[in-house]
Amino acid sequence: MNVIRTITFKLQLPGGGPPALLDTMRAYTTAFSTSAQWGFENHTWNKVENHKATYKAVREAVPDLPSSLVQGARDCACEALKAVKCKTVPERKPLAAMRYNQRVITVNLIHGIATIASVKGRIKAAFPISEYHRQYLSWTVTSSTLSCDRKKRVFYLHISMEHPDVKPVKEIRVLGIDRGIVNVAVCSNNTFFNSKHVKNTRAKYAHLRKELQSKGTRAAKRKLRKIARRERRFVTDANHCISKQIVSSDYTVFALEDLSKIRVQKRRSRSFNRKLNSWTFYELEQFLRYKAEALGKQVLLVDARYTSQKCSACGHTYKGNREGSSFRCRKCGFQLHADLNAARNIAQAGTSCLSRLPVNQPHVACL
Protein backbone atom coordinates (compact mmCIF):
# COMPACT_ATOMS: atom_id res chain seq x y z
CA MET A 1 0.00 0.00 0.00
CA ASN A 2 1.42 3.38 -0.99
CA VAL A 3 0.92 6.19 1.45
CA ILE A 4 1.27 9.72 0.11
CA ARG A 5 1.59 12.88 2.16
CA THR A 6 2.06 16.50 1.24
CA ILE A 7 3.84 18.60 3.80
CA THR A 8 4.10 22.36 3.71
CA PHE A 9 7.23 24.18 4.78
CA LYS A 10 7.76 27.90 5.14
CA LEU A 11 10.88 28.92 3.25
CA GLN A 12 13.68 31.08 4.53
CA LEU A 13 15.15 32.86 1.52
CA PRO A 14 18.32 34.87 0.94
CA GLY A 15 18.13 38.61 0.12
CA GLY A 16 17.39 38.51 -3.60
CA GLY A 17 15.29 35.35 -3.29
CA PRO A 18 11.72 36.63 -3.10
CA PRO A 19 11.85 38.98 -6.16
CA ALA A 20 13.61 36.29 -8.22
CA LEU A 21 10.93 33.73 -7.35
CA LEU A 22 8.13 36.20 -8.09
CA ASP A 23 9.68 36.91 -11.50
CA THR A 24 9.97 33.17 -12.09
CA MET A 25 6.29 32.71 -11.33
CA ARG A 26 5.36 35.49 -13.74
CA ALA A 27 7.59 34.05 -16.48
CA TYR A 28 6.09 30.62 -15.86
CA THR A 29 2.61 32.09 -16.31
CA THR A 30 3.69 33.68 -19.59
CA ALA A 31 4.92 30.28 -20.80
CA PHE A 32 1.70 28.66 -19.61
CA SER A 33 -0.48 31.21 -21.40
CA THR A 34 1.40 30.85 -24.69
CA SER A 35 0.97 27.06 -24.65
CA ALA A 36 -2.65 27.28 -23.52
CA GLN A 37 -3.51 29.78 -26.26
CA TRP A 38 -1.88 27.68 -28.98
CA GLY A 39 -3.58 24.51 -27.77
CA PHE A 40 -6.95 26.25 -27.71
CA GLU A 41 -6.54 27.68 -31.23
CA ASN A 42 -5.39 24.39 -32.66
CA HIS A 43 -7.79 22.33 -30.59
CA THR A 44 -5.25 19.92 -29.13
CA TRP A 45 -3.78 18.99 -25.77
CA ASN A 46 -0.97 16.97 -27.30
CA LYS A 47 2.24 17.88 -25.46
CA VAL A 48 4.66 17.03 -28.27
CA GLU A 49 2.78 19.09 -30.85
CA ASN A 50 2.48 21.95 -28.41
CA HIS A 51 6.19 21.80 -27.70
CA LYS A 52 7.14 21.92 -31.38
CA ALA A 53 4.87 24.88 -32.00
CA THR A 54 5.47 27.02 -28.93
CA TYR A 55 8.90 26.25 -27.48
CA LYS A 56 10.84 28.73 -29.58
CA ALA A 57 8.40 31.58 -29.03
CA VAL A 58 8.33 30.96 -25.29
CA ARG A 59 12.12 30.89 -25.08
CA GLU A 60 12.23 34.25 -26.81
CA ALA A 61 9.53 35.75 -24.60
CA VAL A 62 11.03 34.55 -21.30
CA PRO A 63 14.69 33.75 -22.06
CA ASP A 64 15.67 33.40 -18.40
CA LEU A 65 13.10 30.77 -17.49
CA PRO A 66 14.92 27.41 -17.13
CA SER A 67 13.87 25.06 -19.93
CA SER A 68 12.57 22.44 -17.51
CA LEU A 69 10.13 25.01 -16.19
CA VAL A 70 9.10 25.92 -19.73
CA GLN A 71 8.28 22.27 -20.24
CA GLY A 72 6.51 22.10 -16.89
CA ALA A 73 4.33 25.07 -17.82
CA ARG A 74 3.52 23.48 -21.16
CA ASP A 75 2.55 20.18 -19.49
CA CYS A 76 0.31 22.03 -17.04
CA ALA A 77 -1.31 23.95 -19.90
CA CYS A 78 -1.93 20.74 -21.84
CA GLU A 79 -3.46 19.05 -18.79
CA ALA A 80 -5.70 22.08 -18.26
CA LEU A 81 -6.72 22.01 -21.95
CA LYS A 82 -7.55 18.34 -21.64
CA ALA A 83 -9.66 19.01 -18.55
CA VAL A 84 -11.82 21.53 -20.42
CA LYS A 85 -11.63 19.59 -23.71
CA CYS A 86 -10.16 22.70 -25.38
CA LYS A 87 -13.48 24.53 -25.03
CA THR A 88 -11.95 27.53 -23.26
CA VAL A 89 -8.47 28.98 -22.85
CA PRO A 90 -7.14 27.83 -19.49
CA GLU A 91 -6.03 30.72 -17.34
CA ARG A 92 -3.49 31.03 -14.59
CA LYS A 93 -3.06 33.81 -12.09
CA PRO A 94 0.38 35.43 -12.49
CA LEU A 95 1.50 34.33 -9.01
CA ALA A 96 -0.37 31.06 -8.72
CA ALA A 97 1.35 28.04 -7.19
CA MET A 98 3.92 26.45 -9.44
CA ARG A 99 4.85 22.81 -9.78
CA TYR A 100 8.53 21.93 -9.74
CA ASN A 101 9.72 18.60 -11.04
CA GLN A 102 12.83 16.95 -9.66
CA ARG A 103 15.09 18.43 -12.36
CA VAL A 104 14.52 22.01 -11.26
CA ILE A 105 14.49 21.59 -7.53
CA THR A 106 16.70 19.70 -5.12
CA VAL A 107 15.16 18.96 -1.77
CA ASN A 108 17.38 17.86 1.07
CA LEU A 109 15.08 16.84 3.88
CA ILE A 110 17.86 15.89 6.25
CA HIS A 111 19.41 19.35 6.22
CA GLY A 112 16.21 21.23 5.44
CA ILE A 113 17.59 22.85 2.32
CA ALA A 114 16.02 23.24 -1.11
CA THR A 115 17.77 24.52 -4.22
CA ILE A 116 15.16 26.08 -6.46
CA ALA A 117 15.66 27.04 -10.11
CA SER A 118 14.63 30.59 -10.97
CA VAL A 119 15.09 33.25 -13.65
CA LYS A 120 18.12 34.44 -11.68
CA GLY A 121 19.78 31.05 -11.34
CA ARG A 122 19.46 28.59 -8.49
CA ILE A 123 18.27 29.89 -5.15
CA LYS A 124 19.14 28.17 -1.93
CA ALA A 125 16.30 28.18 0.58
CA ALA A 126 16.18 26.76 4.08
CA PHE A 127 13.21 25.22 5.85
CA PRO A 128 13.61 24.07 9.43
CA ILE A 129 12.58 20.45 9.96
CA SER A 130 10.67 19.98 13.18
CA GLU A 131 11.01 16.97 15.42
CA TYR A 132 7.62 15.82 14.19
CA HIS A 133 8.63 15.94 10.53
CA ARG A 134 11.69 13.75 11.14
CA GLN A 135 9.46 10.70 10.65
CA TYR A 136 9.36 11.58 6.95
CA LEU A 137 13.12 11.50 6.40
CA SER A 138 13.01 7.97 4.99
CA TRP A 139 10.18 8.77 2.56
CA THR A 140 10.67 9.46 -1.15
CA VAL A 141 10.01 12.95 -2.49
CA THR A 142 7.76 12.71 -5.55
CA SER A 143 7.05 16.34 -6.43
CA SER A 144 7.18 19.85 -5.04
CA THR A 145 5.02 22.91 -5.46
CA LEU A 146 6.01 26.48 -4.72
CA SER A 147 3.39 28.96 -3.57
CA CYS A 148 3.51 32.44 -2.19
CA ASP A 149 1.44 34.56 0.11
CA ARG A 150 2.01 38.04 -1.22
CA LYS A 151 0.40 39.84 1.68
CA LYS A 152 2.61 38.12 4.20
CA ARG A 153 5.60 38.08 1.83
CA VAL A 154 6.13 34.41 2.53
CA PHE A 155 6.93 31.50 0.25
CA TYR A 156 5.86 27.96 0.94
CA LEU A 157 7.16 24.71 -0.40
CA HIS A 158 4.65 21.86 -0.54
CA ILE A 159 6.55 18.59 -0.73
CA SER A 160 4.73 15.43 -1.77
CA MET A 161 6.22 12.30 -0.35
CA GLU A 162 5.58 8.65 -0.74
CA HIS A 163 6.07 5.75 1.60
CA PRO A 164 6.14 2.76 -0.70
CA ASP A 165 5.49 -0.17 1.59
CA VAL A 166 3.11 0.28 4.46
CA LYS A 167 1.91 -3.24 5.07
CA PRO A 168 -1.82 -3.52 5.72
CA VAL A 169 -2.43 -5.07 9.11
CA LYS A 170 -3.99 -8.51 8.60
CA GLU A 171 -5.27 -9.05 12.12
CA ILE A 172 -8.65 -7.50 12.81
CA ARG A 173 -9.41 -5.93 16.16
CA VAL A 174 -12.30 -3.47 16.03
CA LEU A 175 -12.51 -0.46 18.32
CA GLY A 176 -15.79 1.46 18.40
CA ILE A 177 -15.54 5.21 18.93
CA ASP A 178 -18.44 7.42 19.95
CA ARG A 179 -17.93 11.14 19.38
CA GLY A 180 -19.82 13.64 21.46
CA ILE A 181 -20.04 17.06 23.00
CA VAL A 182 -19.46 16.26 26.66
CA ASN A 183 -17.03 13.46 25.92
CA VAL A 184 -14.94 14.25 22.89
CA ALA A 185 -14.51 10.55 22.23
CA VAL A 186 -15.48 7.39 24.09
CA CYS A 187 -13.97 4.09 22.99
CA SER A 188 -15.48 0.64 23.35
CA ASN A 189 -12.43 -0.46 25.38
CA ASN A 190 -13.63 1.85 28.20
CA THR A 191 -11.34 4.78 27.33
CA PHE A 192 -12.90 8.20 27.79
CA PHE A 193 -11.51 11.36 26.25
CA ASN A 194 -13.34 14.05 28.13
CA SER A 195 -10.35 16.21 28.83
CA LYS A 196 -11.44 18.77 31.39
CA HIS A 197 -8.92 21.06 29.82
CA VAL A 198 -10.81 21.00 26.51
CA LYS A 199 -14.13 21.65 28.23
CA ASN A 200 -12.84 24.50 30.37
CA THR A 201 -11.18 26.20 27.47
CA ARG A 202 -14.28 25.87 25.34
CA ALA A 203 -16.38 27.33 28.13
CA LYS A 204 -13.96 30.21 28.47
CA TYR A 205 -14.22 30.96 24.77
CA ALA A 206 -18.01 30.67 24.85
CA HIS A 207 -18.15 33.24 27.63
CA LEU A 208 -15.80 35.63 25.83
CA ARG A 209 -17.76 35.25 22.64
CA LYS A 210 -21.03 36.12 24.37
CA GLU A 211 -19.55 39.27 25.86
CA LEU A 212 -18.11 40.43 22.57
CA GLN A 213 -21.24 39.64 20.61
CA SER A 214 -23.33 41.85 22.89
CA LYS A 215 -20.94 44.74 22.25
CA GLY A 216 -21.30 44.52 18.48
CA THR A 217 -18.63 47.09 17.63
CA ARG A 218 -16.20 46.62 14.79
CA ALA A 219 -13.31 46.06 17.16
CA ALA A 220 -15.37 43.45 18.98
CA LYS A 221 -16.11 41.68 15.71
CA ARG A 222 -12.44 41.62 14.84
CA LYS A 223 -11.65 40.19 18.23
CA LEU A 224 -14.35 37.56 17.72
CA ARG A 225 -12.73 36.36 14.52
CA LYS A 226 -9.40 36.17 16.26
CA ILE A 227 -10.89 34.13 19.09
CA ALA A 228 -12.60 31.81 16.63
CA ARG A 229 -9.26 31.09 14.97
CA ARG A 230 -7.55 30.51 18.28
CA GLU A 231 -10.28 28.19 19.47
CA ARG A 232 -10.07 26.29 16.23
CA ARG A 233 -6.36 25.75 16.65
CA PHE A 234 -6.93 24.59 20.18
CA VAL A 235 -9.53 22.00 19.21
CA THR A 236 -7.40 20.85 16.29
CA ASP A 237 -4.55 20.26 18.67
CA ALA A 238 -6.80 18.26 20.99
CA ASN A 239 -8.04 16.20 18.05
CA HIS A 240 -4.46 15.46 17.05
CA CYS A 241 -3.59 14.22 20.52
CA ILE A 242 -6.71 12.08 20.85
CA SER A 243 -6.44 10.52 17.41
CA LYS A 244 -2.78 9.74 17.94
CA GLN A 245 -3.51 7.97 21.20
CA ILE A 246 -6.37 5.97 19.71
CA VAL A 247 -4.50 4.92 16.58
CA SER A 248 -1.39 3.80 18.41
CA SER A 249 -3.41 1.29 20.49
CA ASP A 250 -3.46 -2.44 19.68
CA TYR A 251 -6.66 -2.07 17.68
CA THR A 252 -6.45 -2.27 13.90
CA VAL A 253 -9.90 -1.15 12.75
CA PHE A 254 -11.53 2.02 14.05
CA ALA A 255 -15.28 2.14 13.70
CA LEU A 256 -17.04 5.51 13.72
CA GLU A 257 -20.59 6.64 13.17
CA ASP A 258 -21.38 8.09 9.78
CA LEU A 259 -21.06 11.82 10.29
CA SER A 260 -23.99 12.98 8.17
CA LYS A 261 -26.37 11.10 10.46
CA ILE A 262 -24.88 12.59 13.61
CA ARG A 263 -25.62 16.09 12.37
CA VAL A 264 -29.28 15.25 12.09
CA GLN A 265 -29.34 13.63 15.51
CA LYS A 266 -27.84 16.59 17.27
CA ARG A 267 -30.17 19.11 15.67
CA ARG A 268 -31.62 20.10 19.01
CA SER A 269 -28.35 21.37 20.42
CA ARG A 270 -27.54 25.06 20.47
CA SER A 271 -26.64 26.56 17.15
CA PHE A 272 -23.04 27.17 18.07
CA ASN A 273 -22.51 23.68 19.38
CA ARG A 274 -23.86 22.39 16.12
CA LYS A 275 -21.42 24.43 14.10
CA LEU A 276 -18.48 23.61 16.30
CA ASN A 277 -19.25 19.94 16.51
CA SER A 278 -19.85 19.36 12.85
CA TRP A 279 -16.28 20.30 12.03
CA THR A 280 -14.65 18.93 15.16
CA PHE A 281 -16.29 15.54 14.59
CA TYR A 282 -15.24 15.58 11.00
CA GLU A 283 -11.74 16.67 11.85
CA LEU A 284 -11.27 13.85 14.35
CA GLU A 285 -12.37 11.42 11.66
CA GLN A 286 -9.89 12.87 9.16
CA PHE A 287 -7.03 12.68 11.62
CA LEU A 288 -7.89 9.10 12.55
CA ARG A 289 -7.95 8.09 8.89
CA TYR A 290 -4.71 9.80 8.13
CA LYS A 291 -2.84 8.36 11.08
CA ALA A 292 -4.37 4.89 10.73
CA GLU A 293 -3.44 4.71 7.06
CA ALA A 294 0.23 5.33 7.80
CA LEU A 295 0.19 2.32 10.13
CA GLY A 296 -1.65 0.06 7.69
CA LYS A 297 -4.79 0.23 9.83
CA GLN A 298 -8.24 1.35 8.73
CA VAL A 299 -11.24 3.49 9.61
CA LEU A 300 -14.73 2.15 9.11
CA LEU A 301 -18.00 4.11 8.99
CA VAL A 302 -21.11 2.48 10.36
CA ASP A 303 -24.79 3.36 10.43
CA ALA A 304 -25.35 5.87 13.23
CA ARG A 305 -29.01 5.07 13.81
CA TYR A 306 -29.98 3.69 17.21
CA THR A 307 -26.41 3.43 18.52
CA SER A 308 -27.48 5.40 21.59
CA GLN A 309 -30.80 3.61 22.09
CA LYS A 310 -29.72 0.04 21.57
CA CYS A 311 -28.61 -2.18 24.44
CA SER A 312 -25.10 -3.42 23.75
CA ALA A 313 -25.77 -6.54 25.83
CA CYS A 314 -29.09 -7.87 24.50
CA GLY A 315 -29.77 -5.70 21.44
CA HIS A 316 -33.09 -4.33 22.68
CA THR A 317 -33.68 -0.93 21.07
CA TYR A 318 -35.86 1.56 22.86
CA LYS A 319 -35.70 5.34 23.12
CA GLY A 320 -36.31 5.31 26.87
CA ASN A 321 -33.24 3.14 27.47
CA ARG A 322 -31.13 6.24 27.56
CA GLU A 323 -31.46 9.04 30.06
CA GLY A 324 -28.82 11.72 29.76
CA SER A 325 -25.45 10.14 30.33
CA SER A 326 -26.75 6.86 31.71
CA PHE A 327 -28.07 3.85 29.90
CA ARG A 328 -30.33 1.22 31.44
CA CYS A 329 -31.91 -1.46 29.32
CA ARG A 330 -35.65 -1.79 29.98
CA LYS A 331 -35.54 -5.41 28.90
CA CYS A 332 -32.47 -7.01 30.51
CA GLY A 333 -31.57 -4.34 33.06
CA PHE A 334 -28.04 -3.86 31.72
CA GLN A 335 -26.53 -0.57 32.91
CA LEU A 336 -23.64 1.41 31.49
CA HIS A 337 -22.47 4.94 30.72
CA ALA A 338 -24.56 5.95 27.70
CA ASP A 339 -21.59 6.95 25.52
CA LEU A 340 -19.75 3.75 26.32
CA ASN A 341 -22.82 1.73 25.43
CA ALA A 342 -22.94 3.60 22.11
CA ALA A 343 -19.23 2.94 21.50
CA ARG A 344 -19.79 -0.79 22.07
CA ASN A 345 -22.69 -0.76 19.61
CA ILE A 346 -20.46 0.96 17.06
CA ALA A 347 -17.78 -1.68 17.58
CA GLN A 348 -20.36 -4.45 17.11
CA ALA A 349 -21.69 -2.80 13.95
CA GLY A 350 -18.11 -2.52 12.67
CA THR A 351 -17.38 -6.19 13.36
CA SER A 352 -20.53 -7.43 11.68
CA CYS A 353 -19.87 -5.13 8.74
CA LEU A 354 -16.36 -6.51 8.29
CA SER A 355 -17.61 -10.08 8.29
CA ARG A 356 -19.67 -9.19 5.22
CA LEU A 357 -16.77 -7.61 3.33
CA PRO A 358 -13.57 -8.82 1.71
CA VAL A 359 -10.78 -8.60 4.28
CA ASN A 360 -8.94 -5.31 4.67
CA GLN A 361 -10.72 -3.23 2.15
CA PRO A 362 -9.65 0.20 3.31
CA HIS A 363 -11.99 3.08 4.10
CA VAL A 364 -15.22 1.31 3.42
CA ALA A 365 -18.53 2.67 4.55
CA CYS A 366 -21.02 0.27 6.07
CA LEU A 367 -24.38 1.89 5.77
Chain positions contacting Zn ion, by CB under 5 A: 311, 313-314, 316, 329, 331-332, 334
Least Å from the CB of residue 306 to Zn ion: 13
Nearer to Zn ion, 126 or 313 (CB): 313
Q: Which amino acid is at 366?
A: C
Least Å from the CB of residue 328 to Zn ion: 9
Least Å from the CB of residue 311 to Zn ion: 3
Nearer to Zn ion, 83 or 332 (CB): 332
What contacts 164, CB < 8 A, 6 or more positions away?
2, 140
Least Å from the CB of residue 321 to Zn ion: 8
Nearer to Zn ion, 297 or 344 (CB): 344
Nearer to Zn ion, 256 or 329 (CB): 329
Least Å from the CB of residue 315 to Zn ion: 7
Nearer to Zn ion, 55 or 334 (CB): 334
Nearer to Zn ion, 297 or 322 (CB): 322
Query: % helix / strand / coil in the chain, to the nearest 5?
Result: 45, 20, 30
Least Å from the CB of residue 347 to Zn ion: 16
Nearer to Zn ion, 204 or 330 (CB): 330
What contacts 12, CB < 8 A, 6 or more positions away?
125, 126, 127, 128
Q: What's the chain's Rg over C-alpha atoms?
A: 26
Could you give the residue ranges of the DSSP H alpha helices within the chain?
A: 17-41, 47-61, 67-83, 196-215, 218-247, 259-265, 271-294, 338-355
Concatenating the DSSP letter of every residue in 75-104 gives HHHHHHHHHTTTSS-----TT--EEE-TTT
- Report d(CA 203, CA 197) in Å as an integer: 10
Least Å from the CB of residue 317 to Zn ion: 9
- Report d(CA 364, CA 360) in Å as an integer: 9
Distances (CA, A) of 80 to 67, 83, 151: 20, 5, 27
Nearer to Zn ion, 92 or 322 (CB): 322
What contacts 100, CB < 8 A, 6 or more positions away?
69, 72, 116, 117, 143, 144, 145, 146
Least Å from the CB of residue 310 to Zn ion: 9
The residues facing 276 across adjacent strands are none
- Report d(CA 367, CA 256) in Å as an integer: 11
Identify which of 285, 302, 282 has the alpha carbon closest to the alpha carbon of residue 344. 302
